[in-house]
């Protein structure tokens, strides 16, 4: 397509298409600001992106390559007197490191070669060496790219690939999905760089609903919460229905759990007495027993043993508030992966006139020396674009200009393609959130999400497993012990019943929560957005986008509902409908009024819902009491006998 | 939300270079208007028209690119859950025809496997400026197993036919794969499943 020139004046220029930037873009465009939204990359969502399998391989390749030396272009001819230029970074390779790839399945489809018996042996051997080669190669690449990787480690990794070949030779008949098949079906994968879930009453879901952006995506319920304990995967009963139906819990435990959960909802004096003391202590003193204590601490509050009580209780409450809105767990997951979400907000921005340009960057920010404000930006083609505000993803900002926590915090990530669910059940289409408490002292707690093929993130017959933790060491060091314990890999022992890992990727990503909100060495009308953080939810990104919006337009509504096309457009002969231009603005005002009312209505309904839920809970408790009574009576009878 | 009254609901997505007349085609079909007013279609996500085919009510939800094609920056999510794609070029603009393979690559990457694709050569009212011969386009469409049609949004030539043909094709396919692919439901808000929905209202 011909390189059309961009308009030369905007209200807001936004660089980077991660979640925060995209939400901000939608918000500005929605209230009539002229928005230019660009990204240096050829894909949307930056470090929030999802990739097909081949897309991910390309991404890996790109991060192995040496970044081209950055040559600061001389744009001085574009500057006027009293202006200076702040150069922006061209590459964000710094945010991703320690990439390591392992392939534990055969290169080619074994079945295809089966008919020819004479060639099978040699063919099979060649396959094995080929696969091992490719793994070694990838490992070597990692070594080259990341100088910090010590040699001994490299040696260890190479050793690891050898057992993989040995293992496959010992059971060559097993029909595993081959690497070739993964490539062939590659477009069925949508592999997220970030692993998060959407709390059903979290700020992202609220925003999607409020803004009507939700119409661009579809969602699935996370169907179960699992936890790893005593070398076993267990399901955590969390909804009232689950608790009630649970076979793991005794009647007494059920009652204790329901009691506890009910008592959590409101803050009490008793709870306050534990402020500042560990939540674990609070739980212990409730005498809930090991089972419940584990569930409550690791799977419901999802905190660590030393998290203070008030924080633990807040997390527990948030979890409980989110239960039952859409399903039996508090979480949703977007069909086609999390990378869809930023794109949905970009679409909203575009619908309201925002201009989009991928493979296009901003080279520098033109600053007026006197006012220390950004007047314009110079794009990568050397066009000067006037703007009133500039929003930028942190990756583009030079290290000496931004304030970040030191030392730099990282997240450890692993992505596995496996051949079975970690906890097989009647349905092979479960979406599971798995909490893995630290497997040894000093190890990080790991959050794991297992996605099935109906989420459209992996090919049928496989599962996509995401592991995330705060990094202590490299991603491989942090997460491979968990992977080895919970899955079958060439390094694991006695894991016959566990799902096999076909392919996996480890990497570290900068933790977005390390970026300070204020204090950057930048003009006052330049706003920095952080990359993804390690939390399970999306609160940080949404809060940040809203705060940037409010700094610039304190009077305006943040992402008001977009009119429903069905309300503006009429069918058939009635062509008097208006869309675009002045008329629509008027219409929007009317719509806004209506929406306010609708919102109120919604709130009332929610309240009603809550009351009903409470009623339900009471009834259930009654039922449970009755059950217990029966049990007790039975016992009485028995003792009488 | 009012009571819906349709037998089928289909999502149709338009793609193709900027300026080939995508928005004009939609406006002509849904509103009978040409030209569709100044400037872009601010704030309009998609247009709706309900048509009747052999006694069945078919609701067509027609999505436009929101200008993101201008700098080749269409979001992948735009293609998701589309039942049909209208790939448009301008018969008076060779360049818009030459970009078709690029568009097809995007379709292959992001659109559903079963998506029905139709190639449309627009602006036949400007016959004297034609740069792409009909035969060439037909051959290309056939090689890619797409339907092909030439239209004029300005003169309203073949516009109705384009959408009705698509609707017929979609109904035919829907009847074939009935009960297929019906389990994914949008959730937050009151979104509706855009797949082969048969009969009755949703809510």
CA angle at residue A326 from A321 to A327, to 5 degrees?
A: 90
Q: Which helix (H) or strand (E) holds A347?
A: helix A340-351
Q: Which helix (H) or strand (E) holds A501?
A: strand A501-510
Whether residue A146 is contained in a domain is answered as no
Chain A residue with minimum CA distance to B105: A187
A9-15 and A501-510 strand pairing: unpaired
DSSP per-residue letters across A98-124: EEEEEE-S-SS-HHHHTT-HHHHHHHH
In angstroms, the separation between the Cα of residue A222 and the nearest Cα of chain B is 12
What is the model's pLDDT at position B71? 92
CB atoms within 10 A of CB A362: 22
Contacts of B31 in chain A (CB under 8 A): 569, 575, 577
Residue A222 and residue A598 in contact, taking contact as beta carbons nearer than 8 Å: no
Q: Which residue, of A499, A533, A565, is where some domain finishes?
A: A565
- Cα–Cα distance measured from residue A192 to residue A459, given in angstroms and rounded to the nearest whole number: 14
- Cα–Cα distance measured from residue B18 to residue A364, given in angstroms and rounded to the nearest whole number: 29
A526-529 and A232-235 strand pairing: unpaired
Residue A283 and residue A221 in contact, taking contact as beta carbons nearer than 8 Å: no
CA-based max dimension of chain A: 102
A410-418 and A463-470 strand pairing: antiparallel
Domain count within chain B: 1
B116-122 and B84-90 strand pairing: parallel
Sign of CA dihedral B104, B108, B111, B117: positive
What is the domain range of residue A557?
9-95+337-405+515-565
**In this complex, do B68 and A352 lie within 8 Å of one another by their Cβ atoms?**
no
Residue B137 makes CB contacts below 8 A (sequence gap 6+) with B89, B91, B97, B119, B121, B148, B150
A324 and A363 inside one domain:
no
- Cα–Cα distance measured from residue A421 to residue A224, given in angstroms and rounded to the nearest whole number: 12
- For the cut 60, the answer to whether the pLDDT of residue B108 exceeds it is yes
A254 and A289 inside one domain:
yes
Q: Read off the DSSP letter of residue A399.
A: G
Between A163 and B83, whose confidence is greater? B83
A242 and A317 inside one domain:
yes
Contacts of A1 in chain B (CB under 8 A): 17-18, 70-72, 99
A22 and A64 inside one domain:
yes
Phi-psi category of residue A446: left, alpha or beta, with phi > 0 → left and psi -120 to 50 → alpha = beta
User: Across chain A, what does the average pLDDT equal?
Assistant: 83
In angstroms, the separation between the Cα of residue A340 and the nearest Cα of chain B is 6
Chain A residue with minimum CA distance to B16: A1
Q: What size, in residues, is chain A?
A: 641
Q: Which of A549, A527, A524 is nearest to A25 (CA)?
A: A549
**In this complex, do A454 and B183 lie within 8 Å of one another by their Cβ atoms?**
yes
**In this complex, do B44 and A568 lie within 8 Å of one another by their Cβ atoms?**
yes
Chain B residue with minimum CA distance to A588: B43
CB atoms within 10 A of CB A617: 15
**In this complex, do A1 and B48 lie within 8 Å of one another by their Cβ atoms?**
no
Which regions in chain A score pLDDT beneath 50? 1-2, 112-173, 569-590
In angstroms, the separation between the Cα of residue B175 and the nearest Cα of chain A is 22
Whether residue B102 is contained in a domain is answered as yes
Q: Which of A541, A79, A497 is nearest to A345 (CA)?
A: A541
**In this complex, do B186 and A454 lie within 8 Å of one another by their Cβ atoms?**
no
Question: Which residues 575-634 of A are in CB contact (within 8 Å) with B?
Answer: 575, 577, 579-581, 584, 588
A365 and A226 inside one domain:
no
Sign of CA dihedral A369, A374, A375, A378: positive
**In this complex, do B70 and A4 lie within 8 Å of one another by their Cβ atoms?**
yes
What is the domain range of residue B172?
6-177
Q: Which two tokens stand for residue A637?
A: 């009878």
Whether residue A45 is contained in a domain is answered as yes
A385 and A287 inside one domain:
no
Q: Which residue has the tokens 């997951």?
A: A333
What is the model's pLDDT at position A93? 66
- Cα–Cα distance measured from residue B62 to residue B27, given in angstroms and rounded to the nearest whole number: 10
What is the model's pLDDT at position B1? 41
A327 and A225 inside one domain:
yes
In angstroms, the separation between the Cα of residue A180 and the nearest Cα of chain B is 18
**In this complex, do A1 and B30 lie within 8 Å of one another by their Cβ atoms?**
no
Query: What is the value of ipTM here, to two decimals?
Result: 0.89
Chain B residue with minimum CA distance to A53: B109
Question: Which residues 3-42 of A are in CB contact (within 8 Å) with B?
Answer: 4
Residue A131 has phi, psi (to 5 degrees) of -65, -45
A261 and A395 inside one domain:
no
Whether residue B185 is contained in a domain is answered as no
CB atoms within 10 A of CB B131: 13
Whether residue A189 is contained in a domain is answered as no
Whether residue A40 is contained in a domain is answered as yes
Residue A160 and residue A154 in contact, taking contact as beta carbons nearer than 8 Å: no
Residue B41 and residue B25 in contact, taking contact as beta carbons nearer than 8 Å: no
Contacts of B68 in chain A (CB under 8 A): 346-347, 350, 356
**Facing residues of A103 across strands?**
A503
> What are B16-55's pLDDT values in tens digits?
999 999 999 998 998 887 776 645 567 788 999 999 999 9
In angstroms, the separation between the Cα of residue A88 and the nearest Cα of chain B is 22
Contacts of B108 in chain A (CB under 8 A): 187
A90 and A229 inside one domain:
no
**In this complex, do A580 and B37 lie within 8 Å of one another by their Cβ atoms?**
yes
In angstroms, the separation between the Cα of residue A169 and the nearest Cα of chain B is 35
Q: Which of A628, A622, A233 is nearest to A418 (CA)?
A: A233
Whether residue A53 is contained in a domain is answered as yes
Report CA dihedral (B165, B167, B173, B176) to the nearest 10 degrees. -120
Whether residue A290 is contained in a domain is answered as yes
What is the model's pLDDT at position A447? 97
A88 and A45 inside one domain:
yes
**In this complex, do A214 and B43 lie within 8 Å of one another by their Cβ atoms?**
no
The reported pTM is: 0.83
Q: Is A556 exposed, middle or buried (0-12, 13-18, 19+ CB in 10 A)?
A: middle
A382 and A288 inside one domain:
no
Domain count within chain A: 2
In angstroms, the separation between the Cα of residue B134 and the nearest Cα of chain A is 22
Whether residue A592 is contained in a domain is answered as no
The residue of A350, A355, A359 whose CB has the most chain B CBs within 10 angstroms, and thus the best one to mutate to test that interface, is: A350
What is the model's pLDDT at position A609? 74
**Facing residues of A447 across strands?**
A435, A468
Whether residue B192 is contained in a domain is answered as no
User: Across chain B, what does the average pLDDT equal?
Assistant: 84
What is the model's pLDDT at position A405? 85
| CATH number of the domain within which A85 lies | 3.50.50.60
A42 and A24 inside one domain:
yes
> What are A75-103's pLDDT values in tens digits?
889 999 999 999 998 766 689 999 999 99
Q: Which residue, of A565, A598, A630, is where some domain finishes?
A: A565
> How many A-B residue pairs are in contact by the CB < 8 A criterion?
152
Q: Where are the alpha helices (DSSP H) in A422-577?
A: 475-486, 539-552, 565-568
Contacts of A352 in chain B (CB under 8 A): 42-43
Q: What size, in residues, is chain B?
A: 203
Whether residue B190 is contained in a domain is answered as no
The residue of A329, A347, A575, A576 whose CB has the most chain B CBs within 10 angstroms, and thus the best one to mutate to test that interface, is: A347
| CATH number of the domain within which A280 lies | 1.10.405.10
Residue A288 and residue A256 in contact, taking contact as beta carbons nearer than 8 Å: yes
Whether residue B186 is contained in a domain is answered as no
Whether residue B196 is contained in a domain is answered as no
DSSP-derived 3-state class of residue A70: coil
Residue B13 has phi, psi (to 5 degrees) of -120, 130
**In this complex, do B189 and A209 lie within 8 Å of one another by their Cβ atoms?**
yes
Q: Which residue in B41, B109, B184 is closest to A579 by CB distance?
A: B41
A69 has a chain B CB within 8 A of its CB = no
Q: Which residue, of A281, A305, A332, is where some domain finishes?
A: A332
Whether residue B114 is contained in a domain is answered as yes
- Cα–Cα distance measured from residue A532 to residue A538, given in angstroms and rounded to the nearest whole number: 9
| CATH number of the domain within which B153 lies | 3.40.50.300
């Amino acid at each position: 397509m011909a390189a059309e020139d961009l308009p030369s004046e905007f209200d807001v220029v936004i660089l980077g298409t991660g979640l925060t930037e995209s939400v901000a873009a939608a918000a500005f465009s929605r209230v009539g600001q002229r928005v230019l939204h660009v990204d240096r990359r050829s894909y949307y969502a930056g470090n929030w992106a999802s990739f097909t399998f081949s897309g991910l391989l390309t991404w890996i390749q790109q991060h192995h390559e040496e970044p081209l030396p950055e040559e600061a272009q001389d744009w001085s001819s574009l500057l006027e007197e009293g202006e200076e230029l702040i150069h922006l970074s061209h590459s964000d390779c710094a945010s991703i490191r320690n990439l390591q790839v392992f392939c534990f399945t055969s290169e080619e489809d074994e079945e295809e070669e089966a008919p020819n018996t004479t060639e099978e042996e040699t063919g099979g051997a060649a396959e094995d060496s080929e696969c091992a080669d490719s793994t070694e190669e990838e490992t070597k690449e990692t070594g080259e790219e990341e100088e910090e990787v010590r040699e001994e480690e490299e040696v260890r990794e190479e050793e690891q690939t050898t057992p993989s070949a040995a293992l496959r030779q010992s059971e060559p008949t097993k029909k595993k999905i081959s690497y070739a098949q993964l490539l062939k079906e590659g477009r069925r994968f949508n592999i997220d760089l970030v692993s998060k879930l959407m709390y059903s009453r979290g700020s992202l879901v609220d925003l999607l609903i409020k803004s009507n952006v939700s119409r661009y995506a579809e969602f699935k319920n996370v169907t179960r919460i699992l936890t790893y304990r005593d070398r076993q995967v267990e399901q955590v009963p969390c909804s009232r229905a689950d608790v009630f139906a649970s076979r793991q819990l005794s009647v007494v435990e059920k009652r204790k759990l329901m009691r506890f959960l009910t008592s959590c909802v409101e803050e009490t004096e008793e709870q306050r007495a534990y402020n500042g003391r560990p939540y674990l202590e609070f739980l212990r003193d409730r005498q809930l027993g090991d089972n419940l204590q584990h569930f409550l601490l690791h799977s419901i509050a999802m905190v660590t043993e030393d998290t203070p009580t008030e924080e633990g209780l807040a997390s527990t409450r948030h979890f409980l508030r989110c239960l039952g809105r859409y399903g039996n767990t508090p979480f949703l997951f977007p069909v086609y992966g999390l990378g869809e979400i930023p794109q949905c907000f970009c679409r909203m921005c575009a619908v309201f006139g925002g201009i989009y340009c991928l493979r296009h960057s901003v080279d520098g920010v033109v600053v007026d020396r006197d006012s220390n404000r950004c007047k314009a930006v110079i794009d990568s083609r050397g066009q000067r674009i006037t703007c009133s505000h500039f929003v930028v993803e942190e990756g583009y900002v030079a290290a000496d200009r931004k304030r970040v926590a030191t030392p730099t915090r990282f997240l450890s990530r692993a992505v596995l393609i496996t051949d079975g669910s970690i906890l097989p059940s009647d349905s092979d289409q479960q979406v599971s959130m798995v909490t893995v408490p630290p497997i040894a002292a000093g190890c990080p707690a790991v959050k794991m999400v297992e996605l099935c093929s109906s989420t459209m993130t992996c090919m049928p017959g496989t599962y996509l497993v995401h592991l995330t933790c705060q990094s202590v060491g490299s991603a491989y060091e942090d997460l491979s012990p968990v992977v080895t314990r919970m899955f079958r890999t060439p390094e694991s022992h006695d894991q016959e019943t566990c799902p096999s890992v076909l392919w996996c990727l480890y990497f570290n990503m900068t933790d977005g929560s390390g970026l300070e909100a204020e204090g950057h060495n930048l003009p006052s009308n330049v706003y920095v957005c952080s990359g993804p953080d390690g939390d399970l939810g999306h609160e940080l990104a949404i809060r940040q986008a809203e705060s940037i919006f409010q700094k610039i337009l304190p009077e305006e509504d943040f992402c008001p509902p977009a009119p429903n096309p069905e309300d503006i457009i009429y069918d058939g002969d009635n062509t008097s409908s208006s869309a675009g231009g002045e008329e629509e603005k008027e219409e929007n005002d009317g719509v806004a009024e209506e929406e306010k009312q609708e919102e109120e209505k919604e709130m009332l309904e929610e309240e009603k819902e809550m009351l009903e839920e409470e009623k339900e809970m009471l009834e259930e408790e009654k039922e449970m009491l009755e059950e217990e009574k029966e049990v007790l009576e039975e016992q009485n009878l028995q003792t009488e006998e | 939300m009012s009571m819906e009254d349709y037998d089928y609901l289909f999502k149709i997505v338009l793609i193709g270079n900027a300026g080939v007349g995508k928005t004009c085609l939609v406006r002509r079909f849904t509103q009978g208007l040409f030209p569709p007013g100044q400037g872009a279609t601010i704030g309009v996500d998609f247009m709706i028209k309900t048509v009747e085919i052999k006694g069945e009510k078919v609701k067509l939800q027609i999505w436009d690119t929101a200008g993101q094609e201008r700098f080749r920056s269409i979001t992948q999510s735009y293609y998701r859950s589309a039942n049909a794609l209208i790939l448009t070029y301008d018969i008076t603009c060779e360049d818009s025809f030459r970009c078709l393979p690029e568009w097809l690559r995007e379709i292959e990457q992001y659109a559903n496997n079963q998506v029905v694709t139709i190639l449309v050569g627009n602006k036949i009212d400007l016959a004297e400026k034609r740069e792409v011969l009909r035969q060439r386009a037909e051959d290309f469409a056939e090689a890619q197993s797409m339907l092909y049609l030439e239209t004029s949004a300005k003169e309203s030539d073949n516009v109705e036919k384009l959408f009705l043909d698509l609707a017929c094709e979609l109904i035919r396919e829907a009847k074939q794969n009935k009960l297929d692919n019906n389990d994914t439901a949008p959730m937050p808000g009151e979104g509706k499943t855009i797949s082969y929905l048969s009969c009755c209202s949703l809510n």
